[in-house]
Homo-oligomer: A and B are copies of this chain.
Amino acid sequence: MNAQQLFEQIQAKRSFLCVGLDSDITKIPQHLLSTEDPIFEFNKAIVDATAEYAVSYKPNLAFYESLGVAGWISLHKTVRYIRERYPSQFIIADAKRGDIGNTSEMYAKAFFEGFDFDAVTLAPYMGSDTVTPFLKYEGKWSIILALTSNKSAADFQLLEDAANGKKIYEDVITTSAQWGTTDNTMYVVGATKAEMLGDVRQLIPNHFLLVPGVGAQGGSLSEVAKHGMNSQCGLLVNSSRAIIYADTTENFAAAAAKAAREVRDEMDILLKEKGL
């Protein structure tokens, strides 16, 4: 999928919502625990309930890895299910990988060949080796951590580079934007730092941004749109806990649908305000 195709999905759905599948065996409805694969059953129900209102799904790998081999199987089934039933969905492996070149090649193989993800989140600390092996895959995306939504993002991302007066996260954006294109590179910019989205847009007016932190982490959707939206929307806004755990009874899927629809309705208005 390229940027134009993703924008077309956003226009068709009137939504730039990414649903984060942070599916936690201790938080999913208890009645699912008697099924053969509770995490997959949960994800399937969430996806079926929300696919109309979302353009993207983002399984968070940690939640699957914490279950060992069984979790890895649930993840495979989830990605395959989304790909087969909802082929226009943009599926992100929230893996935050980052390693030397020959190892990055292995991670790229894992996520783009073993799984059929559209994108992987990557940590930039080790530089271009972390990213370039992923860019060799036509139609696939690298989503680079720039300014994250957590409080301790300030520990290193906001340090000032003596050479140019920029913040480190700005150096990450400026340098890495030269490795790929607007059709294969996105950036993670947290919604909890919405006012800084304007600074990011100065650096990269045309790249898509993946924005976590709306919902449970406290970010505001309208602030994100105000500072971050561009003429092709340019945003995927992730919500995880506020949607998938909207209700934890047998009514969970309907509650997730309602929560996703409400976000979609707000996104529709924000897109219209931008003339999109």
Contacts and interface: CB of A to CB of B under 8 A. Distances in A.
Contacts of A153: 126-127
B107 A127 contact: no
A125 B156 contact: yes
Interface string A141-158: 000010011111111110
A72 B22 CA distance: 20
Contacts of A37: none
A12 interface: no
A169 to B, nearest CB: 9
Interface in A143-194: 145, 148-157, 159-163, 165, 168, 171-172, 175
B126 A152 contact: yes
Contacts of A101: 150
Contact of A172 (B24, B68, B156, B160): B156
Copies in the complex: 2
A72 B67 CA distance: 11
Given A69-B76, A156-B168, A162-B165, 16 more contacts: A22-B102, A22-B103, A24-B106, A60-B99, A60-B103, A63-B103, A63-B106, A66-B107, A100-B148, A101-B150, A123-B125, A125-B125, A128-B155, A160-B163, A161-B162, A168-B168
24 contacts: A60-B99, A60-B103, A60-B106, A62-B106, A62-B110, A65-B106, A65-B114, A66-B106, A66-B107, A68-B110, A69-B69, A72-B72, A96-B98, A100-B148, A100-B149, A100-B150, A124-B125, A124-B155, A125-B125, A126-B145, A127-B154, A127-B155, A129-B152, A161-B161
Interface of A: 22, 24, 60, 62-63, 65-69, 72-73, 76, 96-104, 106-107, 109-110, 113-115, 123-130, 145, 148-157, 159-163, 165, 168, 171-172, 175
